[in-house]
Amino acid sequence: SSGIVLVTGKQWYQRRVRGRDIRKSGIKLLPLQDHLMARPLEVNLTMYYLLSMYKPPPVIPQASTTNCFKGSPSSHSPVLWTQVKSLDAAYARLSSWKAVLATGGCSEFSSSSRIMFYQALLRSFTGLIETLHGLELALNPHSMEGYITLWGIEFQEILINVSVAVNTPSHTGYVKIWKDPQFSDSELYACDQICASEIAPVPNNGKEISFSIHPTNPATPIVYIATQKEQLITLRQMIQEHHGLDLHSLEEHPISALFIIVISIVIVVFHALLFHMIYKEFCSGERGLNKSAR
């Protein structure tokens, strides 16, 4: 049998395609305060009709996962998730999505099996890109408020889960990574922004590994994931040697309240002195006119 099951309040999709079960893949969204991001219900409905309407080719080619998805996160493009009101509009939206995925390096995904097409949609939501060094989560904390979890992301024949939470107004938060239980023996490593911290293995007991998120300028990927520790070691060396980046120097340090108060007092005192000088000059001018009149 073939069908999609929607569960209210969560973005879960159940579908069996050619014997493969993708029930463990999906998106979970908590209500977001950021009006620039796609709404949970709209994401739910869009995923529903995209997966229903997508027709894979008769012969499924071998798809490369490298460089997918390298565009801006689709969660920041609400126009891609707005509800459609006709069948023609739905097919037009499907075409738009295929173009977005192709531009984001997922052209092979969008012309492959339904499962691979679904994986491309999931990656696009948070800007999860696969490079030669592994996976990079390029979600900008400045453009997100709330909680997003991606379930069942296929990476090097491993299903992984990624959860991101960002608070406001500090735009700080955390990112968590854990493996699907059936891949508990598979090696997986992760490190935080620009791999500044220790490269740590993702636990094999189903537990998660967590990293803090700090807004940086310019924005940097908030986490890196690889199947080999050497990949992340090489990546960290490249970042430090060729770019000379340091996480502390990139972190945004908000202006303290004391500094704002001091500046405000200086401005008020300056304007008070200026007003006093103008008033004094005006008064002396009036006295001069009065003497001349006498």
Q: How far apart are the first and last CA of the chain?
A: 109
Q: How far is CA 142 from the centre of its chain?
A: 9
Q: Report, as ranges of residue numbers, the positions in the chain whose pLDDT lies below 50.
A: 1-19, 248, 250, 252-257, 259
Helix (H) or strand (E) run with residue 49 in it? helix 40-53
Cβ-contact 139, 164 below 8 angstroms:
yes
Q: What is the pLDDT of residue 220?
A: 84
91: its two tokens = 């097919």
Q: What is the pLDDT of residue 263?
A: 62
* Residue 264: Cβ within 10 Å count: 10
Cβ-contact 225, 134 below 8 angstroms:
yes
Beta strands per DSSP E along 216-294: 223-226
Q: What is the pLDDT of residue 255?
A: 43
3-state secondary structure of 239: helix
Residue type, 25: S
Helices 114-126 and 87-103, packing angle to 10 deg: 70
Is omega for the bond preceding 69 within 30 degrees of 0, making it cis? yes
Per-residue model confidence as pLDDT tens digits over 266-276: 666 666 676 66
Cβ-contact 137, 223 below 8 angstroms:
yes
Q: What is the pLDDT of residue 233?
A: 93
Distance of alpha carbon 188 from alpha carbon 10, whole angstroms: 27
Per-residue model confidence as pLDDT tens digits over 95-147: 999 999 999 998 887 778 888 899 999 999 999 999 988 999 988 888 788 88
Residue tagged 């991001």 (tokens) = 37
* Residue 56: Cβ within 10 Å count: 15
Q: Which long-range contacts (CB under 8 A, 24 or more apart) does 164-169 make?
A: 164/126, 164/137, 164/139, 164/213, 164/222, 166/141, 166/213, 168/33
Distance of alpha carbon 139 from alpha carbon 75, whole angstroms: 9
204: its two tokens = 């094999």
> Model pTM?
0.74
Is omega for the bond preceding 215 within 30 degrees of 0, making it cis? no
Distance of alpha carbon 125 from alpha carbon 55, whole angstroms: 21
Distance of alpha carbon 220 from alpha carbon 74, whole angstroms: 17
